[in-house]
Structure 1
Amino acid sequence: MEKKHLHIAAGIIRNSNEQIFITKRPEGTHMAGFWEFPGGKLEKGERPEDALSRELEEEVGIIVNHCELFHRVDCEFEDRFITLYFFVVSKWDNEPFGKEGQDSRWIDQCDLVADEFPPANRVVVDMLTQKSRQV
């Protein structure tokens, strides 16, 4: 049986104070209880940047004005492959919030904790915390 391949765009929404906006996966969902960079699945034929803009407007109420690809992660699970596109979002309209009722917060980039995120996100969290230590 061929495994399903999902493509997901996630936004590292970072303000000028080096704080990052994160949301918590709600109970009853895959990986519930973990913090995450908001985003979601690409629709058929959709570019990652376009999916990111659509998903961030739906999930956290912002309009993306500028984003750059930070890192791509490929993960294989028992039943699927996932490709994650992580974008740093540096300019947006509106104040982000948990539009779907999910917990959310701003956190200093240096205070991110990899173990609080799903396994596929941890390499990105490590990259961000290492980068903030070098500044």
Structure 2
Amino acid sequence: MLHGVRYVWPAAVGPVNFSNRWYPYAVETAEPAHFREGITIRLVSAVAFIATKLEAFAGRGGGDYLSSHDIEDVFNIADGREELAKELTAAPAEIRQAVGEALGRLLADPNVANVLPGILAEPERAELVLQRLHLMRHR
């Protein structure tokens, strides 16, 4: 609760039609983070975040790498979180398989390598990001 407002992330399909199969996992595995007295939030793990973003891109992204915030988030997390592949190794098999399959489809598209430098804040890191995505695919 912040300034009398409780923020809720729907974990199931409901009246506003949120439907991502990884939302329940994200909520269940979120860890508390304490900011100042009386303010605690639960942070979704990077693995759960990537899983939800890959699923969202597969649904609403329409293969449009340049306008999808979901795929932009995937690329930026892979760029900024060196330990992500190791974290994925510790995730449940179902998550590892789903992320691996989604990344396999993504990396099979030759357009990804072409658009990635234009999405990243530091285009010169595109090859590193591709390496990390390939590594995550095989976890």
Say yes or no: TM over 0.5: no
The structure number with the bigger radius of gyration is 2
State the TM-score, normalized to the length of structure 1: 0.26
Structure 1 or 2: larger strand share? 1
| Structure with greater contact order relative to length (CA < 8 Å, sep ≥ 6) | 1
